[in-house]
Amino acid sequence: MPKRSRFLEWVDARTGVPSSLDRTASEQLRGGAGLRYVFGSALAGAFLIQLITGLLLMASYVPSSSHAWGSVWYINNELDFGWLIRGLHHFGSSAVVILLALHLVQTIVLAAYRAPREFTWWLGLLMMFAVLGLALTGYLLPWDQKGYWATRVATNIAGTTPVIGPVVQRVLVGGVEYGNQTLTRMYALHVGLLPMLIVLGLIGHWTLARRHGLTGRDRPGRTDSYWPFQVFYNLLAITVVLGILLAIVWVNHGVTLEAPADPSGTDYPARPEWYFLPLYQLLNEFDSDTEIIGTMVIPGAIVTVLFLLPVLDRLLPRRLVHFGACALIFGVLGGAGALMTKAILADKNDAAFLLARLEADRQRDRANALADAAGLPPEGAGYLMARDPLSRGMALLEANCLSCHVYGGQGKVQSQVAQPTPEQLEASDPSRLGTLSGALPEQVLRMVAFALPDDIQAESASTDLGEHGETLYRVEGRNAQDERVVAETAEGDAHVVVSTFSNQSACDLKGFGTRDWLRGLLEDPSSPAYFGTVPQCSGMAEWKAGSELSAEQLDEVADFFAEHVIPYREGLSAASWELQFAEAEEPPPGYTHFMNECANCHLWGLGGADGTGVDSPNIYGWGSPTWIRRMIEEPGARDLYGYLAEHEQMPGFAGQLTDEDLDVIVRLLRGEFLPPVGVLEGPDEEEMPELIADQQDGD
């Protein structure tokens, strides 16, 4: 070794570190340096990548259930190279697990658990569980749908542990409700306790490895020193790992962020990360009465055997133990691969899962688009979707309104998935589809015949090409309630999606309360989009039949409403409002046309604000949020549709919807929301940030 400087001598005299490094560098490797020794160093290098990227993420991350999602979104989309840092951290965890498995296999194959390396082996196993704990606790930190529901599954599994399970679950969750306490506890484990244990374990592991030397196969006549030969291979392995990670992150442009966690929803298709997928599938192999076998007994038995290997090696024939250990580790990895494959294929063939996954993807894209358009609500990302008319509003419409109304021509859709077994498929009778029995392949017809309800009257069959060139099959018909029913499947699928569309018996709500909706009503009130399916509201059609207003004059009426009626001012009486037009020397043309042709039925202001004795709704403030909210809550009021018989009226929702619910419904009807990606409609682009900011403020 070269002579040390006086400074290094001074450091060595007080710490011994330079001498320790010299001894490591001069360590002789049996059989010479090579790639067979790199797995431990590559694993340590991957963990170092996790430490560095984790520290960088901590600088911008907020460990709060209100703001965690927003801080991760900021890292992903706004922070310089944030997507790269988070991508390296995310995919780096997979690299750590893979290298951990390779290092474990190598250790068992080389029998490095034998004396005098027992403590090295046990310490390595403890670090392995700490690493898996890191992967598990990090899952929740973005506080998105994926992490939230996967964590619930994991903590519920922990809760099945005999005796201590419920206590462990409460400690991890921070009580009985998943929320801020859950997140902060997982954060403390992820960035505090577990990394500290792993660092201490690495130091101990490295010290013990230096004490007992590296285990390897002898190659007679060759011996290399650790420096520079093995150091070169180690650095090469770490560089390869980093290069692969960078390539994966670059190709995927980081890692996606799911929609903010929604504890109220239960339909998210929760799945763990791929390295926990075998355990998830193992759990599914048992029913609820015996699931503890999959969650505790089998994993616990494997872990116990691994911990006892050094002891068994002294009590039983060594070759037998070594053979058993190799058979165990390869059996576990093979079984894990088989379980993982089974889980992936099951999801691929599970139409319910695929539909839920598509909806989750839509929610993810929607949340990211909203955040990108105008930032995040001050109260937290949870309000991002809750105040979005297109998300929350459509859910409310589907639950309360679309049994009668439609939105954009689409009524309520009830979808079911049918996956017949081979026996059910064989017993299915395609002849009940009538004349369609020869229109599609027999296998498809049998699947459709099994899936469709008994009261279906099939009407048509068609084929089309999907995005990937596969053949799509579609059968349409009507059920006993005359509702349209559509059955769809694709070439190679083992399932059929059956969708039932409700019958329209009320107007189309898309654009209701806007100038365009009103103009369409004035043009053709008998259209199904307006009152064509509402016979008790035929007055507009009767007016239209005798109207003498030209298209230009109808435009002027619609313009008058857009400028003066829809912008309703709270607190201004109808009489005071109408005086500005009734006493004007030149009132707006639209007002004059309205008074000439419409005021005989519809009232406002001086004409009688309460609508008493008139068979049409009072339209003072029509289209304004206030008018629409009243229409939703009290459609049977005297000045609205109280003139109709009770059985002809729309049901009222007073007391059933919150103010926030009413607000998002009104915004949805009036089109005041960020359009879906690729849809060029709705407010102008310049208006969107202000519009969404108002939406987030709950105005």
Q: What is the pLDDT of residues 496-509, one digit of tens each?
A: 889 888 889 999 99
Q: Is the per-residue pLDDT at 685 higher than 50?
A: no
The winner for highest mean pLDDT among 389-398, 579-588, 687-696 is 389-398
Strand 471-478 to 484-490 pairing? antiparallel
Q: What are 383-410's pLDDT values in tens digits?
A: 888 889 999 999 999 999 998 999 998 8
Q: Give the single-character DSSP code of 525.
A: T
Q: Is the per-residue pLDDT at 97 higher than 90?
A: yes
DSSP assignments along 220-261, one per residue: TT-EEEIIIIIHHHHHHHHHHHHHHHHHHHHHHTS---PPBP
Both tokens of 532, joined, read 């064509």
Q: Is the per-residue pLDDT at 612 higher than 70?
A: no
Q: What are 358-392's pLDDT values in tens digits?
A: 889 999 999 999 999 878 888 888 888 888 999 99
Q: Are 554 and 616 in contact (CB under 8 A)?
A: no
Compute the distance between CA of residue 318 and CA of residue 309 in angstroms, rounded to an integer.
Answer: 10
Whole-number pLDDT of residue 613 = 47
Q: What are 653-669's pLDDT values in tens digits?
A: 999 999 999 999 999 99
Return phi, psi of residue 409, to 5°: 85, -5
CA angle, residues 417, 421, 424, in degrees to nearest 5 = 100
What proportion of the chain, given as a percentage, has pLDDT over 70?
Answer: 93
Whole-number pLDDT of residue 663 = 95
Tell me the sheet residues that pair with 462.
474
Compute the distance between CA of residue 25 and CA of residue 16 in angstroms, rounded to an integer.
Answer: 14
Residue 81 or residue 537, greater confidence: 81
Whole-number pLDDT of residue 216 = 59
CB proximity list for 390: less than 8 A, separation 6 or greater: 366, 668, 673, 674, 676
Q: What are 169-188's pLDDT values in tens digits?
A: 898 899 888 999 999 999 99
Q: Are 320 and 309 in contact (CB under 8 A)?
A: no
Q: Are 352 and 140 in contact (CB under 8 A)?
A: no
Whole-number pLDDT of residue 125 = 94
Q: Calculate the CA 230 to chain-centre distance.
A: 45
Compute the distance between CA of residue 251 and CA of residue 91 in angstroms, rounded to an integer.
Answer: 12
Q: What are 143-174's pLDDT values in tens digits?
A: 999 999 999 888 888 887 777 888 888 988 99
pTM of the model: 0.83
Whole-number pLDDT of residue 442 = 87
Nearest to 76 by CA among 178, 176, 151, 144: 144
- What integer is the mean pLDDT of 101-114? 93
Whole-number pLDDT of residue 21 = 79
Q: What are 219-229's pLDDT values in tens digits?
A: 556 777 778 88
Helices (H), 80-117: 82-109
DSSP H or E segment with residue 197: helix 194-212
